[in-house]
Each structure stands twice: as structure tokens, then as C-alpha cells.
Structure 1
């Protein structure tokens, strides 16, 4: 029997939603360009319906971003209404995050009660990576919203036995596929198992309905990719990060198997540092770089143009890997102020973090993933079953992991039907299967995968929040059942007394066990509280050693307190435990909000508190270069061309003009041949080329074009005063070298023909 829907407004929920709105939205007016790669695309999408439909990266519609455009559609609509600003492109993610918190409440309340819904909503709100994600214009916040909508609709379909709701539910997964491709399919096993176990229909009808749902899934998944792939390739943008100009290939290649295996498109290998743990020395070296320390650079000058080379060679492209090193040292944080004028004529501003870790307890920084590694694109720890507990990922998603495990164990055994066979599943156990089915495959993926960013772990947040609430509710039920059994034994209740109960009362009564449920519940909760607080003490130790010690002491005291059978001070015990469990996780979640951070690689860490503003993996603009090319563009279609998207994104945002990202996001896309490039120059569509990330594509096309440009183009002095030195702290994460204080070589191609 389901708990009746609350008729009155739940003010606890209102408070949690207000808290989520504050954490997700406060300070987004300092978002700068947020993730400039996507902001550039949003700028372009507001300029034509074709760009909007395909998710074009540049105003000329030369190439798309590396994902389908569904999430970007919401952001482009917001930008069209309010103008292109950091806050306007981030706003849809903020709203999606608030909606997700509300949905997790609605998903838990019907079967587990309002307190379970509140606990789940609060847990989700205070998960650090959730807050960091909801403050950016990345895809993940909107992806999670669509996945929760799909599960919510499926839950309604099961309750109401409605075919159309089944089809809508699986159709929403298809929509989610067009947000971030195969990542959306991670929860399909959970939905399939839940549907089959939970819906009460004859097996033939159940099978037919499932077939209809899968057809809906296929239609909504494939409709957009097939429409794009079937369009004339000459009349649409090149599909960014694909090797065959195909959206389906992008889904199963770059955004599919390569995420698991760690291969980077077009390079035939992996990015440095992916799936590896840095040694202590390399971690400290990286920390020094992130603390804004300058590194020795080699300065070269060609025709008045100054360039720099950091020791270690050319980094991987597109901000995907570390800069200045082949040893796997994570990228450095960009520094300095950043400003730019949006195409609407309104100024976007935002001060970028200096990357300094600050002083904690008299010591600078933290260790590895807790210090220098956090904020790196690939600070993902060492692959293995405990990777999510390690500092790199755990400090973002791991704060409540022991409670999620408690939810699977206590939830399954605590909500079993009285006197039922082991294979009979109660209504609550169906939901345990659903959330465990979400949690386990996603946990498994992140445990073994080699190519992902730490913020992707937001995929685990709904399952962890739900299982935490289920675990707490199940333990409370088991403790109550244990107390009732003890009371019944003391009252010498006879079996005949149970016969006087109504059928409903018997069905809802606690299961009579061969073991003491209260004792088992106390043991489970004691272990969970102990492990949770010890794990949190580990995450905190790099920054606040005193608080870490306090958490260890609290862990031991609270574990012992929960193990005691007496209920003296029960309410105080609950409040103290809740405060201890949520306190530091909440503080970590608060750090992006306090620092007004909306980063391209979103993360939460006290290191953010030493600086304010936003950072991205590109987006920097050399104002002299931009001024020169705008002045001399003439009738050319493109302002200039460069090797990759991150080297051009800032120029698109600030000028609103077409800049050709020849090799796409990674600089490896075979978008055209040398012959086609020459034709662009010959017909006057392209006059200038700016050196960016000089990577090589798998088929050598980019390297051939670069060689031809350098051989035949004329290097232009576009600034009278150009710096001859640079610091690592002014180099963005991708090592783009096209913005800020560094100079880039500008080649004039107009005199070749």
C-alpha cells in the first residue's frame, strides 16, 4: 500500500529547493564564458536556424560540437531571449538541477514516505559534483534531468498500468541519448528490470508493452542522428570529433567505445595521465604549477611573432590532456582576468581563478587528486573497484557512498514481505532494484573506464541520493520492528493474537525473523556511519587536518552510540549524526558557489576559495590579433582559420564572426583535404591562418595543411608590442597559446594566389 500523497505543502522540501537554487545559481553572473567551447556554439546557434538545428560550433556552420545539440537548444533559447552572457547560457543547467532535486523527492516519497524524499533531495543537493555541474553550460545537468524524468514516468506507468507512459518513458531515454549519447543508456538495465518486476500485467501483455517501449526508444534515439547523417554533407556542418562525418559514428566511437578504452580520436592512443595515478613527486610538481609558479619557457621569434615552448613537448589538443608534459601531469589552471564583448554588444566579464591553492593549516595545497589534481581534466585516480572512493573522484561524488551501499543491503532485507519466499519482491524492493540497477553499472563503468572527466560522476548522484534515503528508512523500520518484537515477547503474545489482525495489518507488519532486526539494523548503521565519516575525514585531511581529526573522533563515538540498544536521546543522536554526515559534504558543495565558479571542468574544492570567477579550457582572446583580423577581413567568409575549437572559441564569442576550427575539438578531425583548403584560399573565403594546437590528425590532413601554410603563407606582425616571455599560469588547460599574454603566429594567405 502506497503512502498517500501529501495534501499540504512540504516546507522541508521548499527549504531544500531554495537551498539548491542558491547553491546552483548564486554568482552565475560571474560565469564569464563558462565552457567557451559550448558558449561559442550557442553564440553561433542564435544566428541561424541551420546552426541551431545542427549545433554548429561557428557562425559559418563549418563544424559542430562533439555532442548532439538537444541540451544546447535550451541554452541557445535562453541566449536568444536574454542575450549571450555567461549567466544566460548557464541558466538552463541551474533550472535543470533544481528540477532534478524536486524529481528525486517525488520518486522516493510515494513508497518510502516524505522523510525519505527529503533525505534524497538534500543528499543530491549537497553532493559536491552536482553543485559544480549545475553551475556550467556542460550537458550533464540536463542529461540527469531527462534520465530522472524517464524513471519518474516509468514509475507512473507501472502504478497506472499505462502503455503510453511506458512508451514516453523509454522515449525520454532516446531524447537523453541526443543530449550525451551512450551515457544515457547506462540506466537502461535498471529500467528494464524494474519494468519487468514491478508492472502487474500478464506476461504476454507485459512483453508487448515492453516491445512498444523499445520501439519508442529506437525512434527517439535514431530519428535525429539519421536525419543528420542522411542530409547532404555539403549542405550541413561537419560532425565534430567524428572521423567519418557521421553522428552515429560519433555516438559509438568517440562518445562510445573510446570513453571506455581511453583512446582519443585520431591519435590512436590515450591521453597522458588518463586512468593513472600520479606519483607524489609529479603531484607536487603539478601543484606548484597550479599555484601560479612560472616555468622556464623557450622563446622563439619569427618575423616579429613571439611563441613559447614549454619543456616536454606539445600537449594533447583541445584541452583534453595536460600541458607542457608527456608524463601525465594534469593541466594547469588558467589565471588572470577575462572579459569579452558578447555579440549582443553587452560585455561578459568574469575573473578567472589564479589556481592558487591557498594556505590551509599553514601548509599550501593538498595531495594529488585532492590538491594539484583536482580541476584537472583527467584526475580520475587508479582504475579498480575502489576508484570512486579515492580522493580524485571521491572528493566529488564519494561523500555518501557507504550510505548507498547500506541502501542496497538494508533496503532489500528491510522491506521484504512478511513470510514470503525469497523470490517474492515487495513494492519497496522493486524500487531498491531500480536504484541499485542505476548505481551498479555506472559505478562499474567509472571503475574501469579510461577516458572521462571527473564531473561525469554526476551520473551516480541520483542513485546515491535515492539509496541513501532508502537505507536510512529501512534501518529505521528494522529498528522499530526489533523493538516491537521485543515488546511482543515481553507481553507473551500468542500466535492466536495475530489471527485477530486484519489481512492488511498482517501484510504490513514487520517480517518475523530468525534474527534480531533491531540488532542487525544497529550494526549496519554503526558500520555505515563509521565508514562514511572516516571516508570524509580522508577527503578533508589535505585541507583541514583539525577537522579531519574531529571527524575521526565523531565517527568512533557515533558508531558506538548507534550500536547501543537503548533509545535514550534518540532524537539528539539522529540530529548529531545528520549534522556530522552532511556538514563537510555541504561545505565542499558550497565552494563553487562561494567562489562564483562556472568552470569548463567543473569541480568542488576549498582550493576555489582562494580565487573567484570562472575558468575554461580555451576562450582566451589576443585583442591585438582580433583587432587586426577584423580590420583586414574584407569580404572573406572566415575571420581566420586555426587548428582546433578551443583556440577559436573566444574569438567567436567576442566577435560573433566565423572562425574556422579546422580540426574540431581535438584538432584531429579530417574535415577537409589540402586541396579543399587551397580552394578556400584561392576563392577568397579565407585570408588568414593562426597557429593554435599544432597536433596531427590520424590521416595527416591537418599536418599537411599546417606545413603548406607555413611554407607559403606570410607571417604578419599584428602588434607593435608583443611579449617575449610567458608563464605557465597564463596558459589555459588545453595549452592553446592563442590568448592572454602569449602571442601566436598569424599567416596571411591572400597573396599566395
Structure 2
């Protein structure tokens, strides 16, 4: 086993890390409000320790975001140090992305050598969804970093037989649970299997250590949720997106079974558009700026915020103008009735030039190419969903090599002549990465609700298995004799051709000529492996890497070149037609903001509205408390009508903003009816109707932007 030397600088790795820093960090000064839902929470969290601890969405600490706050803690600390800016809230994700690349190198190198480590790091760096995620203030990049840190700690524990490292490794999974809940447990089975087969200890000691590790996992998993749930509901914010004001219910409900089944809290139904391909034929002329819908979704639920101004970052600067680069469908929402364009069609206008007709190839057309531009384009459920363009264009570029790595890695590093059940150290690592890959792949193959960017969970396993596959083939060619060498070369050739063909499929609707060229190059490089003594093996390997990295590298570059830090991160050439960030609920009607600030008086809240995306831009812009009555979906049962009346009567709430209310339910519906009946409509701007409609059209009716809005004065509503 080759040991990694910490004394000698690996200049190749340094170059890869510099590349990662560029891809993840360049242009984040144009991040605007990034994901305004979380940026609003960060704004609130910097104002008090109470808000910081609970991850409060609003400065008054009325409701939390829909996840535990650990990832947001890092972002809030950054914002506290540097001020609340788009780039400062994105910075922790950038650093986490770079850290993940370095950790993957450290995980692969000890067993498979520095070239394998470098290749894994490079593949991770150039995976499009990794780049897109590492440029936002979503939690996924930080989650992946903590999962890799847990796996790295476990491998060190196994190598050194250190009990305390085992405890820390599983504790880190518990911490990761408090970043994005049950998603962190997707790699738990492979960690358990790897620990059991890899650590060399007497079985009784091994079992005792494992029991202690499970206790460590349990403690760090439930400590925070239990501490929150045990606090009186009157002394803490309502747990956003839960139906019983409980973090544990949030974990197993909204962030658990509902993700698998495609259900949405508060409606009892399922997300429209889930499990649908975005690439069916359409009569539209070109992709639109956003997913177009006729009705608000369950996520905008009971109404939406007034608009009229472009999304603003916390500094008050307006992000660059132009076509929104990504699907601006609301986070965790889904279109219900497609209007005109295809479901989940790629957003933004395709770059002009040799990219073809955006009305045809740009949206995939027949055969489903060119996906990856929509918040809800997840293809059709089944074993090959990850190969379809919707998800594949974000994560699938190296899938054939990952599959090769599982098979070739297991075979090439076996203990020759030993019992079949006695696995080598290298095989244990193959088992580790295959155990990460298979269940996560399985989840995305069958789940009914997730966004394409969630597939970053697969990136470390794909990168690791790709590198393992490459060194396994090289080992088989060098040591396996003529017959095994030919088999290895044939496997590599097939994988090269399959990979370039798959990548050409993703790129075809944008660059048909480049797609043909990449397939030809793949066939040519595959053929070179069968021509002896023409060029050496190292050059052959280098050519193979360059060919399979060309298109994925370009796709990964698109968020960087466009300076995109989107709420729904994705990578595709459509981003190149417009620069800057797009957001779902970060818009601000300056006239409304000015009016309510001027007339707020002693009220605790600037105003109340139905959902978080309707409120987020105003919190970021003003730093004041805006009540998101129904939480993210607009359906959270945060209070009864009686409680709401008391809030108004006490003078804490003076204004309410109502948008489209077709999806309002339960207590929210009753409160809205009462507001309409008893409140006084306020004309705060003669142009408010047209400005709201204009922004609604730009945002596709989603993310807190769905048409007409009305401001109600509640001062005289309760006598």
C-alpha cells in the first residue's frame, strides 16, 4: 500500500484545487441574494443568538427554515464577519466544495496511489452539479463535505485501530443529519459494512466498538432536535414545514417519507410534475425564463408577495439583468399545469451561434436531450433515470466509468489464490464506494420528489469509482498477461466509447457537431489501446482522461462563466445567455417596502404574508421582521384564527399582504378570509398592479411571484 506523504507537495493536486477554487468561487460577487429563502434566515440569524440557535427565518423568530441550522451556522458566521452579501453567504459552500475535492484525494491515494487520487479529485471538480452546488447557499455542498469527512475519519480509524476515531466518524454522520436530515443516512449502511469487514480486531471488541459508535451516532443525531422539541413552543420559533411544530416530525415527514413518495405537507396530495421527463415534444418556440404554470403550486400555497423590482441582495445591489439562467421554480415545489412549454424545460435563452435552434434542440426534442435546466426535471422513474438527460446532464458524465470501477476494481485487487471471502484492503475500499453509490443511485431511480441538484450526493462515489476503475484496468493490462490484458483493454474501450456516446447525447441539442467529434475521438482513443508500442501507457491514459473530461468540463464551466449562484443550481449552456443569479422569492416591491416601513409604527412585524418566499426579499432588503404565516409551503399551521386576531389586537401586526389564494387550506384559509373581510385595502402605489404582474411573468408564477397582490391595513380590524 502506497503511503501519502504530507511532506511533499503534490503539485498536480494543487493545480486541481486551484481549478476547483476558480470554478466554485469566480463570479460569486454577483450572487445577489442567492437562495433568498436561506439568505433571509442568515440575515435574521446575525441579529440575535436566539435566531442563530434555532435557524429562524425572520428577525422576530416567528418560524424556522425547513432544515436544521448547522449549515446555516457557517453561513451566518461568514455573514457576521463580512456582512450579509451574496458572496459572503455563498463562501462556506465554496470552501466546502474545495474541501471535498481535497478529502477525496486523501481517501483514494493511500490505497490506489497518487494518480488515482488526482483523477478522483479532478472528476469531482469537473462534475457539473458539484460546481453548481458549490456556488450557492443551499446546504448540499456542506452536507457532502461532512459525509466525506466522516468516511475519511472512519478509514483512519480502521487503519490505525483507534476507538475514538470510530466514535468521531459516526458522530459526524449525526452532525450531517442536522444539516439535511435523513439524506445523511444514505451512506450509513456502507460505513457499517466497511467498518465490519475492514477493521482488524477480535469480533467481540469489534462489536463493542460498533455499539459505542451507534450510541455516538444516536447522541449527535437527536441532541439538537430533542433540545429544540423540548423547549416550549411559546419560547421558540415554529418549526417550518412541519405539521406538528417538531424537528423530528420534520425529519421523518417533510424531509423523509414525503421525499420518497412525492407528497407535499399540508395538502395531502403529491407534487405535480414529479417523475416526469422535461423532454417531451412541445409547440413552444423557445425555452422560457422559468417554468410556466397556470396556477400557483402548493409551495406558494396561500399567496405570494408583491413584486416589481428585480431581486436584490442584502447590500441593496440589483443583480445583473438578463434572462434568468436557471429554472426558477420554487424550491421544493412543483408545477401543476404546464402552460405552453414542456414540463421542466430548460430555462433561459440558449446562446446564439452554433447551438442550434432553441425551439428544437434546445429543449431536448424527441429523445430527451439537453435537459438539466429545470427545478423539477428529474426524468422518468426507473433503473436508467440517472442516464436520462434531465439528471445525467448534471451528474451522469462518468457513470460508465463508475460501473467499470465497481467490477474491475473488485477483480484487479483481489487476493490471488486466497479464499474468496478474504478481501484485500483495496477491495474493502471498492466495497465502501460501491456501497455509497448503489443505494443513492437506487433512491434517485425511484423517488418521486427531489431536485436535480440533489444528485451531488452521487458525485464522490462516481469520482472515486472512476479513479479506481482506471488504475484497475492499468493493473490488469500490466500484470494480467496477454489474455487478461486484452480483456482489460476491451472493457476500457467499451467504457470509453459508451462514456463519450453518453456525453454526446447530453450535448447534442446544444452542440451537435461537437457531439459527433467527441464520439469520434472516443473511438480513436479506444482503438489506440489495441495498437502496441505506438505510444506509452501513460500517454494513452492521459488522452483517455482528456477525451472524457472535455464536455463535462465545459458543462461544469457554465455556472462560473455566467456568474450564477442560483436557488435551484444547475449547469448547462443556457446559462451563458445571461449572467447573474436568479432567485425564486427575492423580489421586492420598493413602493410597498417604503410604505410599510414609513407606517409600521410600533408594530413588531413590518407586515405578514402567506409564505416564506413572499417574505424573504423584504427581510434581506430591510433587515426587519416579515411574518411568513404559512412557512415555506404557505400551509404550515403556525397559529389559529383566534391567535392571529390577538396578535393584531395587541398591535404587533398592522399590515397583511395577500396574493393568489387558490391553494390556501386550514387555518391559513380562515385567516385570509378574515383579513379580506375585516382589513382595509391600501393603495400604496398607482403602478403596483402592473409591476406585480410583470415580475410574475418573469418568474413564471412561482417562488412568491404569482400575479396581483393586495395590501391590507388591519389597524381597525379588531376592536
TM-score (norm: length of structure 1): 0.88
2:543 aligned with 1:576, yes or no?
Answer: yes
2:668 aligned with 1:702, yes or no?
Answer: yes
Matched length: 687
1: distance between equivalents of 2:548 and 2:561? 21
2:622 aligned with 1:655, yes or no?
Answer: yes
Give 3-state SS (helix, strand or coil) of 2:5's partner: coil
1: distance between equivalents of 2:406 and 2:524? 25
| Structure 1 partner of 2:351 | 358
1: distance between equivalents of 2:461 and 2:700? 31
| Structure 1 partner of 2:198 | 198
| Structure 1 partner of 2:334 | none
Give 3-state SS (helix, strand or coil) of 1:575's partner: helix
| Structure 2 partner of 1:86 | 86
| Structure 2 partner of 1:303 | none
Between 551-560 and 643-652, the greater mean CA deviation after superposition: 551-560
The change in CA–CA distance for 1:383 and 1:213 in structure 2 (over 3 A counts) is same
Match for residue 434 of structure 1 among 392, 409, 432: 432
| Structure 2 partner of 1:339 | 312
Match for residue 496 of structure 2 among 505, 509, 529: 529
- Over residues 556-610 of structure 1, what are the superposed CA-to-partner deviations in whole Å (9 max), with x where a residue is unaligned? 2223333446564544432322211101100000000000000000000000000
2: distance between equivalents of 1:58 and 1:729? 24
| Structure 1 partner of 2:712 | 747
2: distance between equivalents of 1:737 and 1:150? 37
2: distance between equivalents of 1:15 and 1:587? 18
Report matched runs for 1:161-172 at 5 Å: 161-172=161-172
**Are 2:277 and 2:390, in contact at CA under 8 Å, matched by a contact in 1?**
no
Aligned-pair CA distance for 1:315: 3.0
Report matched runs for 1:146-295 at 5 Å: 146-278=146-278, 280-282=280-282, 285=284, 287-290=286-289
2: distance between equivalents of 1:190 and 1:258? 24
**Are 2:302 and 2:635, in contact at CA under 8 Å, matched by a contact in 1?**
no
The change in CA–CA distance for 1:281 and 1:4 in structure 2 (over 3 A counts) is closer
2: distance between equivalents of 1:380 and 1:228? 34
| Structure 2 partner of 1:492 | none
| Structure 2 partner of 1:556 | 523
| Structure 1 partner of 2:363 | 367
The change in CA–CA distance for 1:371 and 1:711 in structure 2 (over 3 A counts) is farther
Highest Rg: 1 or 2? 1
The change in CA–CA distance for 1:450 and 1:285 in structure 2 (over 3 A counts) is farther
Aligned-pair CA distance for 1:238: 0.2
The change in CA–CA distance for 1:636 and 1:420 in structure 2 (over 3 A counts) is same
1: distance between equivalents of 2:551 and 2:119? 16
Aligned-pair CA distance for 1:96: 0.6
2: distance between equivalents of 1:262 and 1:268? 10
1: distance between equivalents of 2:286 and 2:36? 25
| Structure 2 partner of 1:634 | 601
Between 725-734 and 589-598, the greater mean CA deviation after superposition: 725-734
Match for residue 466 of structure 1 among 464, 467, 472: 464
2: distance between equivalents of 1:53 and 1:190? 32
The change in CA–CA distance for 1:368 and 1:556 in structure 2 (over 3 A counts) is same
Match for residue 396 of structure 2 among 391, 395, 398: 398
Aligned-pair CA distance for 1:438: 0.3
**Are 1:24 and 1:97, in contact at CA under 8 Å, matched by a contact in 2?**
yes
**Are 2:356 and 2:511, in contact at CA under 8 Å, matched by a contact in 1?**
no
Aligned-pair CA distance for 1:729: 7.1
- Over residues 686-707 of structure 1, what are the superposed CA-to-partner deviations in whole Å (9 max), with x where a residue is unaligned? 1111014525455x11111111
2: distance between equivalents of 1:286 and 1:746? 37
The change in CA–CA distance for 1:738 and 1:627 in structure 2 (over 3 A counts) is farther
Give 3-state SS (helix, strand or coil) of 1:715's partner: strand
Aligned-pair CA distance for 1:316: 3.1
The change in CA–CA distance for 1:98 and 1:357 in structure 2 (over 3 A counts) is same
| Structure 2 partner of 1:610 | 577
Aligned-pair CA distance for 1:743: 5.1
- Over residues 230-269 of structure 1, what are the superposed CA-to-partner deviations in whole Å (9 max), with x where a residue is unaligned? 0011010000000000000000000000000100111111
The change in CA–CA distance for 1:630 and 1:268 in structure 2 (over 3 A counts) is same
1: distance between equivalents of 2:621 and 2:301? 20
1: distance between equivalents of 2:322 and 2:370? 17
The change in CA–CA distance for 1:450 and 1:352 in structure 2 (over 3 A counts) is farther
Give 3-state SS (helix, strand or coil) of 1:615's partner: coil
2:451 aligned with 1:453, yes or no?
Answer: yes
2:282 aligned with 1:315, yes or no?
Answer: no
**Are 1:30 and 1:614, in contact at CA under 8 Å, matched by a contact in 2?**
yes
The change in CA–CA distance for 1:156 and 1:637 in structure 2 (over 3 A counts) is same
2:471 aligned with 1:477, yes or no?
Answer: no
2: distance between equivalents of 1:147 and 1:340? 30
2: distance between equivalents of 1:319 and 1:413? 53
**Are 1:693 and 1:735, in contact at CA under 8 Å, matched by a contact in 2?**
no
**Are 2:24 and 2:135, in contact at CA under 8 Å, matched by a contact in 1?**
yes
1: distance between equivalents of 2:142 and 2:687? 45
2: distance between equivalents of 1:191 and 1:566? 43
| Structure 1 partner of 2:119 | 119
The change in CA–CA distance for 1:363 and 1:217 in structure 2 (over 3 A counts) is same
2: distance between equivalents of 1:579 and 1:340? 39
Aligned-pair CA distance for 1:375: 3.2
**Are 1:75 and 1:92, in contact at CA under 8 Å, matched by a contact in 2?**
yes
Aligned-pair CA distance for 1:291: 8.1
**Are 1:271 and 1:320, in contact at CA under 8 Å, matched by a contact in 2?**
no
| Structure 1 partner of 2:330 | none
Aligned-pair CA distance for 1:422: 1.4
2: distance between equivalents of 1:358 and 1:746? 40
2: distance between equivalents of 1:734 and 1:227? 38
The change in CA–CA distance for 1:520 and 1:593 in structure 2 (over 3 A counts) is same
The change in CA–CA distance for 1:314 and 1:564 in structure 2 (over 3 A counts) is same
Unaligned runs of 5+ in 1: 296-309, 324-333, 487-515
Aligned-pair CA distance for 1:412: 0.2
| Structure 2 partner of 1:24 | 24
1: distance between equivalents of 2:504 and 2:657? 49
1: distance between equivalents of 2:479 and 2:196? 30
| Structure 1 partner of 2:332 | none
Give 3-state SS (helix, strand or coil) of 2:656's partner: strand
1: distance between equivalents of 2:2 and 2:527? 35
2: distance between equivalents of 1:736 and 1:408? 41
**Are 1:336 and 1:351, in contact at CA under 8 Å, matched by a contact in 2?**
no
**Are 2:370 and 2:510, in contact at CA under 8 Å, matched by a contact in 1?**
no
**Are 2:120 and 2:467, in contact at CA under 8 Å, matched by a contact in 1?**
yes
Give 3-state SS (helix, strand or coil) of 1:750's partner: coil
| Structure 2 partner of 1:417 | 415
Give 3-state SS (helix, strand or coil) of 1:179's partner: helix
| Structure 2 partner of 1:49 | 49
Give 3-state SS (helix, strand or coil) of 1:104's partner: helix
Aligned-pair CA distance for 1:464: 0.4
Give 3-state SS (helix, strand or coil) of 1:264's partner: coil
Between 569-578 and 602-611, the greater mean CA deviation after superposition: 569-578
| Structure 2 partner of 1:517 | 484
Aligned-pair CA distance for 1:286: 9.0
1: distance between equivalents of 2:314 and 2:42? 15
Report matched runs for 1:66-85 at 5 Å: 66-85=66-85
- Over residues 160-206 of structure 1, what are the superposed CA-to-partner deviations in whole Å (9 max), with x where a residue is unaligned? 00110000000000000000000000000110010000000000000
